[in-house]
Amino acid sequence: MPLNTIPNKGLTSRGYSSDRIVTPLIINGDMSVAQRSTSASSVSSSGYHALDRFRFGFTDTDQLVATISQDTDVPSGQGFSNSMKFLVTTVETALDADDALQIQYRMEGQNLQNLKYGTSNAESLTLSFWVKSSVTGTYALTFKNSDDGGTKLNVNTYSISSANTWEKKIITISGDTATNIDNTNENKLEVLWALSAGSNYKGTSSSGWTSYSASKLFNGQTADIATTSSANFYLTGVQLEVGEFDSTTIPSFPFESFESNLRKCQRYYENLTANGSLNIGHAYNTTQARTYFQYRTKKRAAPTITLATAGNGDGEISFLTKGGAYVGTIGTHTALNVAIDRFNISVNSGTYSSTGWVAGDAVFFYVNGNNYVVWEADAEL
């Protein structure tokens, strides 16, 4: 039985003919979760900036700056509340051969074994999404299988024919009977929406699954968001279905509760926002203390930890005395023993102060102010 399939008679309203619920392969396709920020301005480098799970790739761009945000502009009557908006705020003056701009959605290989890639039973996939842009033209849409034995591509195109108008796009690809998807928790299958592509990424046409070549990656792309002043690109309703579907047979969008969507996103990223005293730690000598945090959701892999700045200013973190006062030297904070389910924050003040700790003291871990992000745990692909 496919891993993303659960038998359940009576819950087949999405349009599948069989008795099953299909767990969405795309998380946050309705753009409802934006843990990092609902609006990230001055973005000029690759990374996860606003909407969870949707990454932006800035490849060798020089001047390009954008705002990426969660927006309420959505296709009418489809049930969506949010979209992801990319807005050019500083234009790329010229699209060099090595420049590219793309949206990336990355999936773990272990969640895709039901596709049966590398066998004669490899399943087709159908990607459906709603898109709207101020820039008309042809856009490349590429699937990338990062198999340990060699990367494969499946390059497609779609057109945006009317500026500033929501359009639904459906793209079907065949299964790859030649190359499997590695069964790991790493990025093994990626969907790439090209927004701009320099000449290095075009020029070689391909059909179906093909070995990686940079000149194939975004072949066919003519639209150019990066060099267009104030250009925008909206995306929502991203769904990936196992099987071949068209505009009349595509199952309805797999809406989930916000809580379910959030919990799935937190496998890859979560943060802690707090007010004032937020945890208890212990001092193990006069200059050192530590505390312990457990994530709400186990991570895909040991995550990268980012801490708020140490200090006593707004939004800054520190360990207080057992009486709740600042110590003489707040010290340097370090995240340690980072695992998929928890980590420590340790401080070394370096200098004993009479207003400091005694070994064995229980101490407050504190953030000065309300609603500041204390830490982020990032296990994204």
Partner 1 sequence: MISTVEKKYDDMLSSSFIYKVTFSDNKLMFVPHNEENRHYQEILEWVANGGTIVDNGE
Contact set with partner 1 (CB under 8 A): 185-186, 284, 288, 290, 300-307, 334-339, 344, 346, 348, 378-381
How far apart are CB 185 and partner 1 at their closest, in Å? 6
Task: Give the residue carrying structure tokens 């006069």.
Answer: 286
| Contact criterion met (CB below 8 Å) for 140 and 155 | yes
Rounded Cα gap, residues 4 and 22, in angstroms = 6
3-state secondary structure 173-209: ECCCCCCCCCCCCCEEEEEEEEEEECHHHCCCCCCCE
Q: To 10 degrees, the CA torsion angle through 325, 330, 336, 341?
A: 40
Q: Kindly list the distances between the CA atom of residue 311 and the CA atoms of 288, 315, 330, in Å, as whole numbers in the listed order.
A: 15, 9, 6
How far apart are CB 380 and partner 1 at their closest, in Å? 7
Residue number, 71 or 380, with CB nearest to partner 1 = 380
How far apart are CB 163 and partner 1 at their closest, in Å? 34
Task: Give the residue carrying structure tokens 């009576």.
Answer: 10
Residue number, 186 or 244, with CB nearest to partner 1 = 186
Residue number, 119 or 351, with CB nearest to partner 1 = 351
Residue number, 184 or 205, with CB nearest to partner 1 = 184
* CA–CA–CA angle 92, 152, 160 (5° rounding): 45
Residue number, 23 or 185, with CB nearest to partner 1 = 185
Chain centre distance of CA 371:
23
Residue number, 325 or 336, with CB nearest to partner 1 = 336
How far apart are CB 42 and partner 1 at their closest, in Å? 10
Please give the sequence-ordered ranges of beta strands (E in DSSP) within 9-136, or none if there are none: 20-22, 39-43, 54-59, 65-71, 83-90, 100-108, 125-133
Rounded Cα gap, residues 244 and 259, in angstroms = 30
How far apart are CB 68 and partner 1 at their closest, in Å? 16
How far apart are CB 302 and partner 1 at their closest, in Å? 4
Residue number, 301 or 373, with CB nearest to partner 1 = 301
How far apart are CB 295 and partner 1 at their closest, in Å? 13
| Contact criterion met (CB below 8 Å) for 56 and 49 | yes
